Structure 1
Amino acid sequence: MTLTAEPHNARTGRGAEYIARAAQAATVIETEANAIEQAATITDTAFKAIADAGLFWILVPEEYGGAGLDIVSAFKIVQEISRADGSTGWAFMANACSMGVAVGFMNQDGAREIFAPPERGITAGMIVPTGSAVRVDGGYRVTGRFQFASGSAHASWIGAGFVVHDDAGNPIVDAEGTPDCRIGFLPRAEVEFLGNWDVMGMVGTGSYDYRVEDRFIPDRFTMETFSTVPTRPESVYELGLLGIGVGGHAPVALGLAQRALQEIAGIVENKVRPGYSTVVGDSELFRLDFARHEALYRAARAYVYEAFGDAEATAAAGGEISAEQRARLRQTATWAQEVAGEVVTFAHRWAGSATVRNPSALGRCLRDAAVATQHALIDRMTLVEAAADIVPAYRR
C-alpha cells in the first residue's frame, strides 16, 4: 500500500502533543491499575488524569473543543493507555471511538449540544441494534436491555442501538427488506444500570448491563446505524462506523502485547530456573523466543498503523477508500488480537509463578488478552470476509 497523502495532524505535530499527554496520564494509570481492577471501573484519579489531558475528545473536531486528531495519532494514544492498563485502555477506547462515531455521523446540532463546551460530554454504550423503538413526533421512543457498556461509569451520554417498529410492532423495512436500524444517545440519568460485570479479564472496564424503558430520544441525538455518509467534512470520519468503532480494538491489543514484552524483559533479568546455566534472561532459548515475539508485535503495530493511515490519507486526498482498504482495516483489527494473544502467552510461559499471584501486571495482560479475543466484531470470520477483497490484489 502506498500513502497518497499525509493526515493534517501528522504534519502539524498536534498528534505528537496529545501522544505526549497520554504518556503522562499513563504514569498515573499504572499506579491506579490495581485499584481499577478492584473497583471494576476506572478510578476517579485515573479518569481525572485522562480528562484533564483532553484525551477523551481526541476524535472530536477542534470546532467543538476536541483535539481533532487523525486516526493513527488517536490509536497510538489508545495503545499507550492500554499499555498502562488494559481495562483502562479498553474503556477509554470505547469512549473515544464512540464519540468519534457519534460526532462524525450524528445531526450536527445534536453533536454540538453533546460535545462542545461547556458540556464536553462523554459517550458509552451498546450501539448494536438490540433495542426497539417507535417513531413519534420529533424523534423516537426507545425500549431495550443492553450489555457491555464499557466506560459507562464516567460517561454522561449513553448509546442505545434500536430497530424502528410500526404501531403494530413490526420492524420497518425498506424495499430490499433491510430493517430501519438507528443509534440514539440519552443523558445518563435516563438509563437504568443493572451491574452484571463479574468477569475474568478486562475487569476494570465497567462494562455494565443497562436498561432503557420507553425513553424519548430527539432526532438530533440519533443516527443511522449503517450510515456511510459522514455529517462532518474531516477525512477521519470517512473510515466509517466500523473503521473507527471496531478498529479501536487493534491498538488495545497492541498495548497489551507491548506491556507483556516490557514485563517479561524485567522478570527474567534475574530469574533463575532449574536446568539453566545462567539467569533465564541470558539463555539462548529465551532470547530466541523473545526476538520472534517482539518481531511479531512490531509487525502487527506497523501494519495496523499503515492500513489505517493509508485509508485516511486516501480520503484526505479526495479519493474514495477502496474495498480492499476497508477489508484491511477489518483484517488488522482481528489479527492484532491474535498477535496480542500469542505475545502475552509467550510472556506468561516464561514468567513462571510471576503471573500466578495477584496483583500482577503481566497476569492482568494475560486475562485481558483472553477476554479481548472474544469480542463478536473481531471473530475470525472477519478474516474470511476480508480475504474476499484482499486476495484479488495478488492475482495478475
Structure 2
Amino acid sequence: MTQGLARPETGAGDSGDYVARARDIAPIINAEADGMEDLRGVSPAVVAALREQRIFWMLVPREWGGGGLGIVETFKVIEELARADGSTGWVMMANVSGTGVAAGYLGDAGARVLFAGPDKGIIAGMFLPVGRGVRVEGGYRVTGKYGFASGSGHASWMGAGFAVYDEDGNPETSVDGSPVHRLGFVPRDEVKFLGGWNVMGMVATGSDDYSVTEVFVPEARTMDTFSTTPVRSEAVYSLGLVAMAVGGHGPVALGIARRALEEVAHIAAVKTRPGYPSVIGDNDMFRREFATHEALLQAARRYVYEVCAEAEAQAAAGGVSDVQRARLRQAVTWVVGVARDIVNWAFNWGGSASIRNPSVLGRCLRDISVGATHMMVEPMTMVEAAGPILATYLED
C-alpha cells in the first residue's frame, strides 16, 4: 500500500528517531515561520529546539556525540523540516552538510576541535575559494569577502575558501599545475557580518554576506577545497563534497511541495467559487489534477532517495561511479523542477487564500521560486549530467 507523503518511511540507522524529532518541533517552526521572515533568520526558539534535538549534528560521527546518520536518513529529516518551513529546511541543509564536510574531510585534530567537545560547532558559509590565503608558519593569513551564508545567524564557525599564495604574493600550484585551494574554518568572533540578504523568498535563511581580514587559520583547521578523499571511513563521506552539498536541495524541494499539497487540500475542502456547485475539492478537474501532481511528487521522492541510496551503497563498496554522480545531479535538478510546478499549481488553486498575508502557500511559492534559481540546480546541471547517462544508452 502506498504511504501518504505526510509520513515518509524511515530507513536504516537512526533516521526514524530523527524524523520523529523533526516532527516534534514542527509546531514550533510553524508558529515562528511568519515572524522569521520579518526577522530574516531562524528564530532563537527554533534554533534552541534544533539544538535540543541534536539535529545540527546528524552527520557528525557517533563517537563525537553526533547522529552518525547516512545521507538518505539525513535528507528525510531535512525534508520534514522543510515541510514545516522552507527556510528552516534550507538552513538545516546548509548547516548539516557543512558540519558533515568538516567532520569527514578535515583532519582529525581540526575536526575534534569543532565537534568532539560538549559544545559542538555549527558550520555555515561559502566553501568556494573566493578568498586569498597567504601561507605563513603554522597556517594561513586569510582575507576575503563571501556571500550566501545560509544559517550564519546561529553558526559558531564560518567556512572561508581561499586560493593559496606564498609570502611574496605568488600563487601556489600543485604538481599538475592547478592552483592550490584550501577551505578554512574560522570562529564566529573573527568574522565580520555584512548583511545584504534582502530577497523575495527563502527570507528566513539569513544568507548574509561576511568577510574576514588577515585572519590566521591554523593548518589543522583547513582542508583541500575540492577533496573527494575523506579522512574517515563512513560511507557517507565517500560521496564527495558535491554530492553532500548538492543533494540536500532535493529534500528541501520535496518538503515544500508536500506542504503546498497539504495546504491546498485543506483550502479546497472549504473554499467555494462562483460557478462551482460545491466546494472546489469536490470538483472533478481539481481532483484529477491533484492526483496527477501528487503522483509526480511520489515518483520524484522515490527517485531521489533511490539514487541517493544507490550512491551511498557504491561508496560503501569502494567508490561512486561517474554515472551515479551524474544521476545525483539529474535527480536533484529534476525534483526541484517538479516541486516548483506542484507549488505553482497549488498556489493557483488556492486563489485569494494564497495571496492574503500571512499565507503558507504564498511562502511556499516564494521559497521554491528562489530555491529553484540556485546554481546547483540550474538547467546546465542537466547538460553536465547527460554525458555519463547518455553513454549508458549507447552500450551494447
TM-score when scaled to structure 2?
0.95
Written as runs of structure 1 = structure 2, the 5 A alignment for 1:287-302 is: 287-302=287-302
1:394 aligns with 2:393: yes
Does residue 1:167 correspond to 2:167, yes or no?
Answer: yes
Supply the distance in 2 between the matched residues of 1:57 and 1:101 (Cα, whole angstroms).
11
Distance between the aligned counterparts of 1:42 and 1:154, measured in 2? 8
Q: Distance in 2 between matches of 1:138 and 1:173?
A: 19
Q: Distance in 1 between matches of 2:391 and 2:56?
A: 39
Q: Is the 8 A contact 1:139 1:216 kept in 2?
A: yes
Matched, 1:76 2:63: no
161-170 or 265-274: which moved more? 161-170
What whole-Å deviation, never above 9, does each CA across 1:88-107 have from its counterpart, x for those lacking one?
Answer: 11111100011111111001
Identify the range of structure 1 (59-68 vs 267-276) with the bigger mean alpha-carbon deviation: 267-276
Aligned counterpart, 2:3? none
Deviations 1:39-64 (A, max 9, x none): 11011111111110010000000011
Aligned equivalent of 1:335: 334
The 5 A counterparts of 1:280-319 are: 280-316=280-316, 318-319=317-318
Residue number in structure 2 paired with 1:153: 153
CA-to-partner distance for each residue in 1:330-379, whole Å, 9 max, x for gaps? Answer: 11121121111101000011111112121111100000001001111221
What are the superposed Cα offsets for residues 285-322 of structure 1, whole Å, 9 maximum, x if unpaired?
Answer: 11111111111111111011000111111222x23211
Residue-by-residue CA offset, 1:7-55 (whole Å, 9 max, x unaligned): xx944x4221111111112221111111111111011111111110010
1:197 matched residue in structure 2: 197
Which is worse superposed, 95-104 or 167-176? 167-176
Q: In structure 2, the residue corresponding to 1:120 is in which secondary structure?
A: coil
Residue 394 of structure 1, CA deviation = 2.1
Question: How far 1:175 sits from its partner (Å)?
Answer: 4.3
Structure 1 residue 278, shift from structure 2 partner:
2.1
Q: Verify the 8 A CA contact 2:36 2:43 in the aligned structure 1.
A: yes
Structure 2 unaligned spans of 5+: 1-9
Larger mean CA deviation between 265-274 and 167-176 belongs to: 167-176
- In structure 2, distance between residues paired with 1:178 and 1:84: 44
Following superposition, the deviation at residue 228 of structure 1 comes to 1.2
Does structure 2 retain, via aligned residues, the 8 Å contact 1:83–1:258?
A: yes
Does structure 1 conserve the Cα–Cα contact (< 8 Å) formed by 2:140 and 2:216? yes
Counterpart in 2 of 1:123?
123
User: Given that residues 99 and 123 in structure 1 are in contact (C-alpha distance below 8 angstroms), is that contact kept between their aligned partners in structure 2?
Assistant: yes
**Which residue of 1 is the match for residue 242 of structure 2?**
242
Residues 3-82 of structure 1 aligned to structure 2 (within 5 Å)? 10-11=11-12, 13-82=13-82
Distance 1:328 1:335 in 2: 10
List per-residue Cα deviations over 1:240-297 (Å, max 9, x = no partner). 0011011111110111111111111111111111222221111111111111111111
**Counterparts of 1:207 and 1:32 in 2: how far apart (Å)?**
18
Query: Do 1:124 and 1:159's aligned partners in 2 also have CA atoms closer than 8 Å?
Result: yes
Provide the residue aligned with 1:323 in structure 2: 322
Distance 2:46 2:367 in 1: 18
Query: 1:127, 1:159 within 8 Å by CA — same for their partners in 2?
Result: yes
- Residues 307, 328 of structure 2: 8 Å contact kept: yes
AA of the residue aligned to 1:156: S
Aligned-residue RMSD, C-alpha: 1.2
Q: Does the Cα contact within 8 Å between 1:10 and 1:70 map onto a contact in 2?
A: no
Is residue 86 from structure 1 mapped to residue 86 from structure 2 by the alignment? yes
Residues 10, 274 of structure 1: alpha-carbon distance in 2 compared, 3 angstrom cutoff: closer
**% same residue:** 53
Counterpart secondary structure, 1:134: strand
Q: For 1:341 and 1:371, how far apart are their aligned partners in 2?
A: 10
Secondary structure of the equivalent of 1:365? Answer: helix
Superposed, 1:351-366 pairs within 5 Å as: 351-366=350-365
1:177 partner SS: coil
Does residue 259 (structure 1) correspond to residue 255 (structure 2)? The answer is: no
- Distance in 2, matches of 1:63 and 1:35, equals 37
173-182 or 47-56: bigger deviation: 173-182
Native 8 Å contact 1:134 1:167 kept in 2: yes
Equivalent pair of 1:36/1:204 in contact (CA under 8 Å): yes
Residue 5 of structure 1 aligns with which residue? Answer: none
Alpha-carbon distance in 2 for matches of 1:369, 1:339: 10
SS at match of 2:247: coil
Other structure's SS at 2:257 match: helix
Specify the SS of the correspondent of 1:152.
Answer: coil
**How far apart in 2 are the matches of 1:63 and 1:175?**
36
Q: Is the 8 A contact 2:272 2:280 kept in 1?
A: yes
Alignment deviations for residues 142-191 of structure 1 (CA, whole Å, 9 cap, x no partner): 00001111001101000011111233434322344321111110000000
Taking structure 1 as reference, are residues 367 and 102 closer, same or farther at Cα in structure 2, changes over 3 Å only? same
Counterpart in the other structure of 1:273: 273
Q: Residues 123 and 158 of structure 1 are in contact (CA less than 8 Å); yes or no, is this contact kept in structure 2?
A: yes
> Which residue is 1:371 aligned to?
370
Displacement of 1:198: 1.1
Q: Tell me the residue number matched to 2:216.
A: 216
Q: Which amino acid aligns with 2:165?
A: H
Equivalent pair of 2:15/2:76 in contact (CA under 8 Å): no
* SS of residue paired to 2:153: helix
User: Could you state the TM-score of these two structures normalised by the residue count of structure 1?
Assistant: 0.95
Output the CA distance in 1 between the equivalents of 2:360 and 2:168.
53
Contact 1:113 1:119 in 2 (8 A): no
Aligned CA distance change for structure 1 residues 274 and 170 (closer, same or farther; 3 Å): farther
